[in-house]
Amino acid sequence: MLLDGETFDLVQHVDTVLAATSGHELESRINPELMQSVLEIATPVCHNAADVEAELRKLRGFVCDLARERGMRVGSAGTHPFSLFERQRITARDRYRNLVDQMQYVARRELIFGMHVHVAVDDAEKAIQVVNGLLVHVPMLLALSANSPFWRGEATGLSSSRQMVFAAFPRSGPPPRFASYAEYAEVVGQLEKTGCIADYTHIWWDIRLHPRLGTIEIRICDAVTRVEEAVALTAYCQALVKHFCERYERGEEIPSYHRILTTENKWLAARYGLEAPVMDLATGRRNRVSVAQLVRRTLKELEPHARELGSERELEGVRDILSRGNGSDRQLRIFNANRDIVEVVSEIADATEVAALPVPAH
């Protein structure tokens, strides 16, 4: 989010920031988004979460400096707590113009911000089965990253209001479970051949394949404020993918759960965050447990994978989120202290900048 340095409202100056990147080594890593008050940063390919941390700090630091020099601030969260989508200008690019032309109000109100994690998988058939395995973990990833309790100046009562806004998009939400890559390709091909979509990037599922990049793209997470949280979630995602890849390679069956059940758990995570009382689908128990309990259990399974990946320290950051609360918890604590929503955005900007400090030595 590009913020006014004094009012902390959104400002429509992405072109100013992009112009300042011209000729810089990071120019290709900083891109516009649908609205002119938003920019996207993208790391290069990284081998593990430690690499991601170094790249994110470099990118965030560069962008924060550019913004400050021009009277702006940068903030990262799932929504802007009080800005209105009606006041935002659409970026003058064909993809965005076409998107608004096709979806009208649904696209115009998409003043929301997410974090996407790409994890490479070396085989298409394997990737489909890994996505199937990841579906039960969507609520946990959402609860850990939830960072959007406010929408249009109002406390929504939700840990992730971003999810409710994005749910209006077609081809969004949890993907269906595909039996094979051929089935997936047939469905996507039908959408493309009939002109419903230009290509598969117009499918906005919580988790999707990205065949051109050879990755699984995990899209469920709200944009998080602190870089440490982004790094922890990246370590968690990479270890999860490794876990299911190895199960597939051993010939083990990837567990399957009805979409109605996983979607219910996702709703509960969006509503209640880390304390969401969700169904424990993996054990089949009738009683509900908190998302935090499921995350702790999952961490024990993932620790050996993180060790092999060199991301053990970064994965520990997930325990820090469990103990400190997610971004929504932090925003609500600040707001409840004095009922000042502008201070919430000020803190988001401060924490985003602090996150850009040099990476500590290992």
Domains defined for the chain, CATH in brackets: 2-354 (3.30.590.20)
Alpha-carbon gap, residue 161 to 156, rounded angstroms: 7
Give pLDDT, residue 171. 98
Give pLDDT, residue 74. 98
Asked if 44 and 32 count as a contact pair (C-beta separation under 8 A), the reply is: no
Give pLDDT, residue 354. 66
Give pLDDT, residue 355. 55
pLDDT digits (tens, 9 = 90+) for 61-81: 999 999 999 999 999 999 999
pLDDT digits (tens, 9 = 90+) for 268-322: 999 999 999 999 999 888 889 999 999 999 999 999 999 999 999 999 999 999 9
Give pLDDT, residue 348. 98
Give pLDDT, residue 361. 46
Give pLDDT, residue 285. 80
Asked if 288 and 277 count as a contact pair (C-beta separation under 8 A), the reply is: yes
Six-digit token string for 239? 């270890």
Alpha-carbon gap, residue 176 to 114, rounded angstroms: 21
User: Amino acid identity, residue 213?
Assistant: L
Contacts of 27 (CB under 8 A, 6+ apart): 21
Cα separations in angstroms, 195 against 95, 97, 189, 199, 213: 15, 17, 10, 9, 23
Give pLDDT, residue 286. 80
- Its pTM stands at 0.96
Cα separations in angstroms, 352 against 12, 151, 207: 19, 20, 26
| Mean per-residue pLDDT pooled into runs of 10, the chain (362 residues) | 98 97 96 98 98 96 96 98 98 95 97 99 98 98 99 99 98 96 98 97 98 98 98 99 98 94 98 98 89 98 98 98 98 98 98 67 45
Give pLDDT, residue 362. 44
Contacts of 104 (CB under 8 A, 6+ apart): none
Asked if 61 and 30 count as a contact pair (C-beta separation under 8 A), the reply is: no
